[in-house]
Every structure is written in structure tokens, then in C-alpha cells.
Amino acid sequence: MSFERVCALSDLPDSGALRVELSDIDIAVVRFEGDIYAIEDQCSHAEVPLSEGDVEEFHGAPTIECWLHGSCFDLRTGEPTNPPATEPVPVYPVRVEGEDVYVDTEADAAADGRLPHAASN
């Protein structure tokens, strides 16, 4: 595992996403109902930034919506929850230490069953 500091908790909206541009990938760091998630910041259908979409619950799942065509992606797994997207988006493990948010972009959190980090406010 290779966690990298991506932002401070205070940089994140209370319920929403922050685009973080790393050297090899852009991710959306998302806060929803106290949990912090990291997902690749590109819709698998239309290649637009997911960080510009709404964060909400969709059929019981925390999701981020692609603003262009309305596909939602489960923040826990990256799976699309509705069309037109049919392919998942990578999600990454998150660790919060104090006020700093760290993400491991070398691992896929959905692949090994890790859950998001619950942020303590």
C-alpha cells in the first residue's frame, strides 16, 4: 500500500466532491454523511469529471452523479447504479489521520472489500 496525502478534511465540502490532480491520475475525494471516499474522477461513459456532479443517496447507496448524462456511481464499489454508464469506475482506499486525507491510488478498494473511512468531525 502506498497512501498519499491528497487534501485536508477542511478542504472537502460537507456533502460533495473535491477534484484532486495527482501526477498519474485525477480523483474525486468525496464526503457523504461523514464518510470519505475516493473514486477516479472520470465517468466511464462520457469521460467527464465526476467531481462536478451531485453527491446523494441513490437506491440506498452513496453515489456521485455524472452531470452530463445522469449516471450515478456507487462510491463504495465504483459500479454504475443506472444507465447510460455500464462500466465501473475505480475506487481507492482512504485513510484519515488527524485533519489529513490520504488515498492509496495503487490499490482498488472494491477489489479487496475495504470500506471508506468514517471521518470524525
pLDDT at 82: 93
What is this structure's pTM? 0.88
Q: Which 3 state secondary structure label does DSSP give 23?
A: coil
Q: What is the DSSP letter of 66?
A: -
| pLDDT tens digits, one per residue of 75-116 | 999 999 999 999 999 999 999 999 999 999 987 666 555 456
Structural domains of the chain in order of their starting residue, each with its CATH number: 4-115 (2.102.10.10)
- What the block records as the C-alpha cell of 57 is 443517496
Helices (H), the chain: none
Reported confidence tier of residue 121, pLDDT bands at 50, 70, 90: very low
Percentage of residues in the chain with pLDDT exceeding 70? 88
Residue 59 has a pLDDT of: 84
In this predicted model, what pLDDT tens digit does every residue of 11-68 receive, in sequence order? 999 999 999 999 889 999 999 999 999 999 999 999 899 999 999 998 889 999 999 9
Phi-psi region of 50 (alpha: psi -120 to 50; beta: other; left: phi over 0): alpha
Whether a cis peptide bond, with omega within 30° of 0, leads into 13 is no
- DSSP letter, residue 10: G
83 CB contacts (<8 Å, ≥6 apart)? 71
